[in-house]
Amino acid sequence: MKTIATAIAAIAMTSTAAFAHVTFATPEASQGSTYIGVLNIGHGCEGEPTRRVRVQIPEGVIAVKPVPKAGWDLEIVTGTYATTYDYYGTPLNEGPVELIWTGELDDAHFDQFAFRGKLTDSLKAGTTVYFPVIQECANGSHNWVNIPAEGQDSHDLAEPAPALNIIEADHHAHH
């Protein structure tokens, strides 16, 4: 019985820690694939509701389209990419660089914010791509923007940016 209680306590602590950050529901994707990014927002700011979620789109993620949310306003900030990418035979050198949802998410609730984007071949298998997120509340914010230095674990950072691990392309899958 003591072992079961210890296991339950360990799971509870792990689950709480997992929801203490903004994370991706699917934290890995194949190089060159189209990725559905679903960000988990598990709490507000010290009891306050979340009023705005801002997601920065990193270089190498192109043709991004956000999922609108009922009751939330959506803004798409566009900009120029650092390079021109081949998007199914069409050169693409600009597009969404930030997504902004504005509404209200009570601190007692959990929600998800989603988008679709093409992961270019410039994002190599075995690397990690970070999507900085600013979670704004009435009297403060959580700035999930910290990116680990080479060899550093993101769990060692306060407010780490959501991470997407790029894996080898599945050449049998459709992109």
Q: What is the mean pLDDT of each run of 10 residues along the chain (175 residues)?
A: 40 38 95 97 93 98 97 98 96 98 95 98 96 95 92 85 94 56
Q: φ and ψ at 172, to 5 degrees?
A: -95, -15
Q: Under DSSP, is residue 66 helix (H, G, I), strand (E, B) or coil?
A: strand
pLDDT in the model for residue 21: 86
Q: Which residue has the tokens 């080898």?
A: 168
CA distance 94 to 109: 35
**Assigned CATH class of 22-167:** mainly beta
CA distance 104 to 137: 9
